[in-house]
């Protein structure tokens, strides 16, 4: 069993959670169109829908909130955030945004034209959708090992350098306004990217003069994985590793709701002055003045402090161990998960739990329903509900390679006994898996359909 270090914090404020009775869970789910996103939070017992904005802020962050300067322009809060952003990421320019997708929207608005391609290891859903919304084509070029859930490759988030080079040569540099990489790779199991890979990706982009942006939502977890797993990095501090990563890129987008442990916030950083002017104009149109970018001054201060809190190595050791512990407990009850354990979440292999449910009937969605019915637990489907889409050329349905169900662990929020409870409930579902049926849509929007779709059981 992996070691689970005692939580490196004590609890100063509590929030009551309750498990409502099974008949009520059944009725609430039916009312919600079997979409767990539509449930009321008060009807959830353990909420592992996302690690985004759901972490517990530290007392230092709450204290920083009281220092928030709410001036419209040039607030002290902005300058405190600027100092932290420059220190950690080192880009020449940045704007705050209200969250990660706002940074993606602005970057896409300024750079993506219809028919252009944006390569990455794997785009997350909001990045994918923001590129598509501008007529672009997000392209995932991850290593093949990422599609084998049992493969224990230490850096399964790596981009396939050969595929990247071939892709650039095939579509032509003029059709690629920028390239990306996501650290860690949320859509593919929260798996890290090695420094060696980031360096190689940066070299290819540089060779073809393609600007390189890192989707940095979980940069600190990725940096800690590099420290743990990559030869030569064991004695480097996480902040040094982060600085080296960002030194290889031309810019980054970031949802600060993850590794900056804030409830709301994002960043868009870059080195190109001309693009920065365009970005500021777009930001003013959509988010707000460039020194607050859709956030309150207090949010900027919480982010400035949280960026360092998320890099604390004792916290990171506990954080990754908690995830590894849940993976171990789930595997123990016979639920296969993506291996090895990733950073922020555990990815259950829904296709293996329900081998009798085809992709078109959404095995991950079936697991979402069962875990709520069994134990009031909420996670999210990362499979065909989220990613199946008609091919823009042929119109034929394209299904993702993996049908996953994600249990994302909010930072510093749940304890070891909560993790044990989740594993026990999953074990009960495994025991009756052959009786579970699939689902079909009764409503689905064109983009980001998992948020608002409605279903009925088959």
Give me the least distance between CB of 141 and ligand PLP, in Å please: 16
Q: Work out whether 105 is an interface residue with ligand PLP (CB under 6 A).
A: no
CB-nearer residue toward ligand PLP: 97 or 116:
97
- Taking Cα atoms as reference points, which of 343, 387, 347, 383 lies closest to residue 366? 383
Q: For ligand PLP, which stretch binds (CB under 6 A), given 94-102, 105-113, 223-231, 361-369?
A: 94-102
Interface with ligand PLP (CB under 6 A), residue from 54, 61, 99, 116: 99
Respond yes or no: is residue 72 known to be catalytic: yes
**Which candidate in 9, 31, 63, 72 is catalytic?**
72
Q: Work out whether 257 is an interface residue with ligand PLP (CB under 6 A).
A: yes
Tell the residue number behind the tokens 């409503």, with chain if given. 443
CB within 8 Å of 458: residues ≥ 6 apart: 361, 437, 438, 439, 440
The DSSP bridge pattern shows strands 454-457 and 397-398 to be unpaired
Interface with ligand PLP (CB under 6 A), residue from 35, 127, 158, 191: 127
Respond yes or no: is residue 347 known to be catalytic: no
The whole-angstrom separation of Cα 373 and Cα 194 is 39
Report 188-217 residues binding ligand PLP (CB under 6 A): 215, 217
Give me the least distance between CB of 26 and ligand PLP, in Å please: 29
**Which candidate in 93, 124, 246, 325 is catalytic?**
124
Q: Work out whether 126 is an interface residue with ligand PLP (CB under 6 A).
A: yes
**Which candidate in 69, 125, 160, 259 is catalytic?**
125
Respond yes or no: is residue 356 known to be catalytic: no
Give the rounded distance of the alpha carbon of 393 from its chain centre.
Answer: 29
**Which candidate in 64, 146, 187, 217 is catalytic?**
217
The whole-angstrom separation of Cα 400 and Cα 170 is 23
CB-nearer residue toward ligand PLP: 46 or 180:
180
Provide the 8-state DSSP code for 293: T
Number of residues that bind ligand PLP (CB under 6 A): 14
φ and ψ at 347, to 5 degrees? -115, 110
Respond yes or no: is residue 124 known to be catalytic: yes
Q: How many helices, marked H, and strands, marked E, lie in the chain?
A: 16, 16
CB-nearer residue toward ligand PLP: 101 or 412:
101
- Element holding 79 (H helix, E strand): helix 76-88
The 39-68 site mask, x for binding ligand PLP (CB under 6 A), equals -------------x----------------
The whole-angstrom separation of Cα 375 and Cα 353 is 17
The 367-396 site mask, x for binding ligand PLP (CB under 6 A), equals ------------------------------
- Which residue's Cβ has the minimum distance to ligand PLP? 100
Respond yes or no: is residue 389 known to be catalytic: no
**Which candidate in 91, 258, 315, 318 is catalytic?**
258
Nearest 5°: CA angle at 160, between 156 and 161?
135
Q: Work out whether 101 is an interface residue with ligand PLP (CB under 6 A).
A: yes
CB 73 within 8 A of CB 289: yes
Q: How many of the other CB atoms lie within 10 Å of CB of 83?
A: 11
Give the rounded distance of the alpha carbon of 236 from its chain centre.
Answer: 25
CB within 8 Å of 432: residues ≥ 6 apart: none
Q: For ligand PLP, which stretch binds (CB under 6 A), given 120-128, 147-155, 172-180, 317-325?
A: 120-128
Respond yes or no: is residue 144 known to be catalytic: no
Please name the residue ranges forming H helices in 89-213: 100-111, 125-133, 161-171, 195-207
φ and ψ at 155, to 5 degrees? -130, 70
The 280-319 site mask, x for binding ligand PLP (CB under 6 A), equals ----------------------------------------
| Catalytic residue numbers, as ranges | 72, 124-125, 215, 217, 258, 450
> Which residues would be at the binding site for ligand PLP (CB under 6 A)?
52, 99-101, 124, 126-127, 182, 186, 215, 217, 255, 257, 266
């Amino acid at each position: 069993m992996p070691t689970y270090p005692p939580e490196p914090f004590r609890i100063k404020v509590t929030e009551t959670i309750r498990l409502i009775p099974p008949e009520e869970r059944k009725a609430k789910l039916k009312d919600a169109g079997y979409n767990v996103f539509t449930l009321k939070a008060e009807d959830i017992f353990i909420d592992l829908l996302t690690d985004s904005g759901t972490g517990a802020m530290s007392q230092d962050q709450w204290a920083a909130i009281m220092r928030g300067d709410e001036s419209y322009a040039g607030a002290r809060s902005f300058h405190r955030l600027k100092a932290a952003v420059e220190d950690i990421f080192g880009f020449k320019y940045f704007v705050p945004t209200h969250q990660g997708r706002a940074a993606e929207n602005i970057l896409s608005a300024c750079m993506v034209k219809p028919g252009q391609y944006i390569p990455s290891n794997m785009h997350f859903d909001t990045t994918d959708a923001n590129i598509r919304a501008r007529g672009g084509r997000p392209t995932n070029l991850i290593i093949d090992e990422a599609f084998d859930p049992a493969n224990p490759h230490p850096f399964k988030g790596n981009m396939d350098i050969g595929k990247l080079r071939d892709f650039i040569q095939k579509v032509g540099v003029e059709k690629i306004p920028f390239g990306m990489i996501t650290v860690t790779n949320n859509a593919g199991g929260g798996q890290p990217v090695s420094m060696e890979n980031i360096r190689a990706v940066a070299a290819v982009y540089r060779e073809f003069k393609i600007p390189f942006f890192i989707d940095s939502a979980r940069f600190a977890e990725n940096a800690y994985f590099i420290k743990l797993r990559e030869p030569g990095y064991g004695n480097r501090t996480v902040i040094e590793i982060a600085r080296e990563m960002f030194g290889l890129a031309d810019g980054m987008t970031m949802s600060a709701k993850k590794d900056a442990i804030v409830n709301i916030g994002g960043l868009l950083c870059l080195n190109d002055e001309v693009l920065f002017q365009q970005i500021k104009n777009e930001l003013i149109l959509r988010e707000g003045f460039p020194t607050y970018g859709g956030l309150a001054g207090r949010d900027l201060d919480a982010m400035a402090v949280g960026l360092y809190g998320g890099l604390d190595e004792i916290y990171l050791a506990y954080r990754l161990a908690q995830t590894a512990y849940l993976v171990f407990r789930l595997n123990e009850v016979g639920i296969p998960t993506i291996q090895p354990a990733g950073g922020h979440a555990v990815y259950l292999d829904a296709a293996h739990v329900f081998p009798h449910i085809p992709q078109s009937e959404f095995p991950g969605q079936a697991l979402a329903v069962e875990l709520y019915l069994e134990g009031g637990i909420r996670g999210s489907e990362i499979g065909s509900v989220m990613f199946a889409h008609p091919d823009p050329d042929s119109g034929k349905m394209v299904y993702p390679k993996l049908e996953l169900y994600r249990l994302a662990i909010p930072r510093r929020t749940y304890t070891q006994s909560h993790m044990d409870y989740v594993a026990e409930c999953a074990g009960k579902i495994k025991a009756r898996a052959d009786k579970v049926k699939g689902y079909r849509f009764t409503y689905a929007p064109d983009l980001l359909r998992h948020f608002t779709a409605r279903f009925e059981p088959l």
